[in-house]
Amino acid sequence: MTQKLAFVFPGQGSQSVGMLNGFADNALVQQIISQASQVLGQDLGQLIQDGPAEALALTENTQPVMLIAGVAIYRAWIEAGGQIPDFMAGHSLGEYTSLVCANSLDFTQAVPLVRYRAQAMQEAVPVGSGGMAAIIGLSDEIIVNLCLEVSQETGFVVEPVNFNAPNQVVVAGHIQAINRIIEIAKSAGAKLATKLPVSAPFHSSLLLPAAAKLEKHLTAIQFHQPAVQVINNVDVMIENDPLKMKDALIRQSYSPVRWVETIEKMADLGVNHLVECGPGRVLAGLVKRIAPQIKIHGISDPQTIQTVLSELKN
């Protein structure tokens, strides 16, 4: 069987203090960290290495550091002799990482871009007035209907925003509607319905003001045709036209992340090996549930890079 390889890049929530410590002696990784620090005028290396975790979890910090981590680990993979994948995708913010790794977006432009995106998202909804919740154990259809029901009942917005795995959906919206849907989901038989520790209702229509800012900001940034095919979140499509790629990123900010369909598309395209590139193993767990036939690997430090290199050779 021909080996078809995909790389996926995680988004917010996978960060951890010290996540690049394994690369302390890797000149390439250190150069990437220092380049990003220079661009933003902030010591991001110190933040990644020492935290504190609360500072790392602030959206305006998380987005740049997760981009740095994904790009650094991918470039360390290539430096170690790893093969260029056939396909890429990233979960939410991870899509920006995939575009950098596919040579579609310049790293030094991507770093301030994702910080701008984070700030625009945070400013769209006052802190404390919006939120997100994970619901596990109910079908997509039931959750879509519950969102409509709660929105009508409360007059506040709640929408499904991440279709992460079968029977695992994240919803976002006004905090009043989030609190209500958690109650209703539990009584409808959800195994779990819980608030997520985030400061904004990401990927909901409440972020339309952020999308308008992002659209304006993106006009000054040059995109190139990607060297690797990237499947986007919003349409589950492979785009090569820079204008269409920008448009997909704008719509992504207020539209659901269609992760289940993204992985199903990879499986349909013949992907049989998938590497989660970056800290954590969140995506690996989701992929296992969506497409158990795909062999899953993870790279997050020099040791795991060597392990996966040998796994893919055999």
Q: E strand or H helix at 300, and its extent?
A: none
> Could you give phi then psi for residue 257, rounded to 5 degrees?
-85, 115
Q: Examine the residue annotation and report whether 37 is marked as an active-site residue of this protein.
A: no
Rounded CA-CA distance 88/69 in Å is 16
**DSSP β-bridge partners for residue 134:** 170, 194
Strand pairing class (273-277; 168-174): unpaired
Nearest by Cα to 91 from 168, 206, 189, 149: 168
- The single residue of 92, 104, 253, 255 carrying the catalytic annotation is 92
Q: Examine the residue annotation and report whether 34 is marked as an active-site residue of this protein.
A: no
Rounded CA-CA distance 157/92 in Å is 21
Nearest by Cα to 80 from 273, 303, 311, 272: 303
Q: Look at phi and psi of residue 251 and say left if phi exceeds 0, alpha if psi is from -120 to 50, else beta.
A: alpha
- The single residue of 91, 174, 203, 273 carrying the catalytic annotation is 203
Instruction: Enumerate the active-site residues.
Output: 92, 203
